[in-house]
Amino acid sequence: MPLPLGVYRADHVGSFLRPKPVLQAREKVDTKDITLEDLRKVEDEHIATVVQKQIENGIQSVTDGEFRRAYFHIDFLQHVEGIERQGSIASTHAHSEGFTPPKVVVVGKLSHPKPIQVDDYHYVESQVSAAKASAGTKHTVTTKVCIPSPTMVHFRGGRESISAEAYPTLEPFFEDLVKVYQAEIADLYAAGCRFVQLDDTNLAYLCDEGMRNEAAKRHGEDPQKLTKQYASLINAAISKRPKDMIIGIHLCRGNYRSQGFAEGGYEPVAEVLFKELDVDVYFLEYDDERSGDFSPLRFLPENKTVVLGVMSSKKRELDDKEVMVRRLNEAAKFCPRGLDQLCLSHQCGFSSTMEGNDLSEEEQWAKVRLEVEIAKQVWGEDLSK
């Protein structure tokens, strides 16, 4: 069975280390020394470069590196009508001291007055042909758009973060949230996009016993019911996508300056994740013991693919090639079609927030090249099969 369109044996989650000029320009916007239009010009220049570098280093699923974002989720969600960023969230997890991302707050009725990612998608697409020509590659290249999962609007704040005036009950809130995502996906499809990746920390956080307990207190219900509710929410959000649009989901346990937050294997959510969620491909973190063993993959249906994040974007040193190959083969034993259902990636992006993980750009690209090398050793030269 062929891989879903836009999925490759050597794949990646989406974000790359931000170049210093982009970070400096973002600071100047904050101090009002330059405008947002000035910032976008700087971003354009460096996105063109990161598109070229991805292709030169063997990546065929190309993103903008998330160079236009400070946070993987906030910079998308704040463009939804009815959502604002307010204050900050102080994490209660032991490994995340000092990390206080902004809060997403629903202050009014949700709507989607205009596309959020379409212009960004068009810009990456405009750079791909030139980058392919420069790299001298004839391989297929897919422009992937990464957006936060709709669960990101609900999980961390719960009822308290949603205006009771706009939404006295939550059912209309979820209905409007679904409509926002359906509209954005429709706009992206009309623009030519055929691959959308949803970035979701919450299904992964519901693998962590401590976070499950916190969620039960915050939401007032069994975390297992919340898992099923989130699967239904995501399914509704993507339910109108055309048959030739591929939807992936990345489950993230936290990725801030090489720190991880949640821990625990996928077992608590695995059956719902694999059997009830209507996505085509899963990007799963498996870079260390926090992720548990591979046995939850036994629930994987024959028609779905897992991009296995056994490599690490958090550490400077290169992963051991032999260990990576061995782990891929170990995981394959639990999959109905074995290695044919697997691809390879790092567990997360290199920069889920603008600060980035603790490694250099040179180390980042060395890791990407090693990943491509391992994938070719395992599956052969054609990474699209």
| DSSP symbol at 71 | B
Alpha helices in the chain (DSSP H): 20-30, 36-56, 74-77, 118-135, 170-191, 202-205, 209-219, 223-238, 267-275, 321-332, 361-379
pLDDT at 291: 86
- Residue extents of the structural domains in the chain: 20-379
Distance CA 89, CA 92 (A): 9
pLDDT at 252: 86
Distance CA 83, CA 317 (A): 40
Distance CA 131, CA 137 (A): 9
The rounded average pLDDT for each run of 10 residues, N- to C-terminus, in the chain (385 residues) is 94 96 95 96 98 97 95 91 80 51 90 98 95 91 97 88 96 98 98 97 87 80 89 98 97 72 86 98 92 96 98 95 98 98 96 88 98 98 95
Task: Tell me whether residue 88 is exposed, middle or buried, using C-beta atoms within 10 angstroms of its C-beta: 0 to 12, 13 to 18, 19 or more.
Answer: exposed
pLDDT at 157: 83
> Could you tell me the two tokens for 133?
């020509």
What would the DSSP string read from start to end of 232-267? HHHHHHHTTS-TT-EEEEEE-S--BTTB------SH
The CATH class that applies to domain 20-379 reads alpha beta
Identify the residue whose tokens are 């009822």.
159
> Could you tell me the two tokens for 148?
């936060």
Phi, psi dihedrals of residue 310, rounded to the nearest 5° = -80, -20
pLDDT at 255: 72
> Could you tell me the two tokens for 145?
């758009």
Identify the residue whose tokens are 């392919």.
132
As a whole number of angstroms, the longest Cα–Cα distance in the chain is 58
pLDDT at 92: 46
> Could you tell me the two tokens for 214?
């916190």
Task: Tell me whether residue 286 is exposed, middle or buried, using C-beta atoms within 10 angstroms of its C-beta: 0 to 12, 13 to 18, 19 or more.
Answer: buried
- Shortest CA distance to 257 belongs to which of 146, 145, 102, 95? 95
Distance CA 28, CA 4 (A): 41
pLDDT at 218: 80
**pTM score, two decimals?**
0.94
- Whole-angstrom distance between the N-terminal and C-terminal Cα of the chain? 9
pLDDT at 214: 83
